[in-house]
Amino acid sequence: MKITKICCIGAGYVGGPTMAVIAQKCPHIQVTVVDLNEERIAAWNDENVENIPIYEPGLDKIVAEARGRNLFFSTNVDQAIDEAQIIFISVNTPTKTYGKGKGMAADLKYIELCARQIARVSKSDKIVVEKSTLPVRTAEAIKSILDNTGNGVQFQILSNPEFLAEGTAVTDLLNPDRILIGGDSSEEGQKAIQALVDVYSNWVAKDKILTTNVWSSELSKLTANAFLAQRISSINAMSELCEKTGADVNEVAKAIGMDSRIGSKFLKSSVGFGGSCFQKDILNLVYIAKSYGLNEVADYWEQVIIMNDYQKRRFSNTIVKTLYNTVADKKIAFLGWAFKKDTNDTRESAAIYVADDLINEQANIAVYDPKVSGKKVLADLDYLETRSSEKNKKGIVSFEDPYLACKDAHAIAVLTEWDEFKGYDWKRIYESMQKPAFIFDGRNILNRSEMESIGFIYQGIGS
């Protein structure tokens, strides 16, 4: 099958960048990204490409090149589904907040709504691709819906999970470690797999395109995220032991990272991991294990989340304890709100939970993040429903100037590893703060000796 038209349902952090790169690398294929969120689609279509809703280094240039040529953003979901040969489902699969599996299982209601819409609209055979991170055997449910509520149309279901790291998503898409495609072993299933392989082969070497059955593909994504998160929680667990014994977690990480069996990646101690995937996927894995009666397996992976939550609480508790056991009416400046650098994504950011703890202690939080708006900061706190929105507004203020955010502060907490923080005039910041002036480096990105030579009382993670 020669693919000429692709549709992606979902214009978020996965669908938008992925489809932009496919469009750039496959100018012979029309790529349409659809979403019911009119504001988001309008932002993708903004004449000023710098205003697209997702910040990823290099993404604006790719969108500018392909948009209007063979890349389109639309709210007309039915038309895009009807015209496409391949339909990617890239909608949100949050952790359930209700009913059976509350707090652990993935909420698949948006996936089911997509499947039902595809079944209702389609008049010709389609390849439906799971791009969202999904529990193993979700494809079975999708196929059941498509086969039993459609118009006699033949559907092939593929799993094609993303392995993007926010902040480097464009690089990850252009030069992936691997592309994973899972499909049915039947002749029709293999043809569908090959059709998607041919799309990626326009820029990805064929030895980097792996094909498996659907179930292996679905589970591989959850497993990859679980392993990465496990490494972060492991080094964070050691960070507290380092603090108690006088060791330096950075030196420990360097020493063990030079072991070729271990490697150096994801051994950076910090205030904790965030983002849309790690916690959600591990909780999903825990739920799946429990549903099969594998309680020891579930307990093992749940500990990764427990350690991450503990690290965030430990960081906020350290701030309170160090500031003479009270932060009431004290100004604490937060440098960074996004869950990591080079993205405007704040989902599950450690900063949200540290701020929540400190506001409970009646601190006044001043936030500066180069890519996150004050409106988003407040929305993130309101989502926790810990207190009223009015109380949140009194407890936290966002600044567009980092120097103003730090002025008259009793302490600074570094919550995101933005490169620009390293280049600040830290002497100027120190002189504008209350004394003694503290820095709590939750990302271990500042030079401790330099900070202490200026006059700061510096405290990093694990040292």
**What pairing do the DSSP bridges indicate for beta strands 86-89 and 438-441?**
unpaired
Q: Are 97 and 107 a contacting pair, CB within 8 Å?
A: yes
Q: Are 46 and 108 a contacting pair, CB within 8 Å?
A: no
Q: Are 13 and 339 a contacting pair, CB within 8 Å?
A: no
| Rounded-to-integer distance, Cα 248 and Cα 269, Å | 10
Find all residues with CB under 8 Å of 109, minimum gap 6, and list them.
none
**What pairing do the DSSP bridges indicate for beta strands 209-213 and 86-89?**
unpaired
Single out the catalytic residue among 7, 242, 277, 406.
277
131 is catalytic: no
| Rounded-to-integer distance, Cα 302 and Cα 416, Å | 25
Q: Which whole-number Å values give the CA distances from 179 to 37, 135, 370, in the listed order?
A: 29, 19, 32
Torsion sign across C-alpha atoms 307, 310, 316, 318: negative
Q: Are 383 and 345 a contacting pair, CB within 8 Å?
A: no
221 is catalytic: yes
Q: How many CA atoms lie within 13 A of 104 on its CB side?
A: 15
Single out the catalytic residue among 56, 130, 162, 218.
162
Reported for 110-113, long-range contacts at CB under 8 A and 24+ positions apart, including other chains, are 111/138, 111/142, 112/141, 112/142, 112/145
Instruction: Please name every residue paired with 458 in a beta bridge, in sequence order, or none if there are none.
Output: 439
296 is catalytic: no
Single out the catalytic residue among 221, 280, 312, 341.
221
Q: Are 240 and 185 a contacting pair, CB within 8 Å?
A: no
Q: Other C-beta atoms within 10 Å of 7: how many?
A: 26
Residue with tokens 């990204």: 33
Task: Classify burial at 80, counting beta carbons within 10 Å of its beta carbon; exposed 0-12, middle 13-18, buried 19 or more.
Answer: buried
Q: Which residues are catalytic?
A: 162, 221, 277
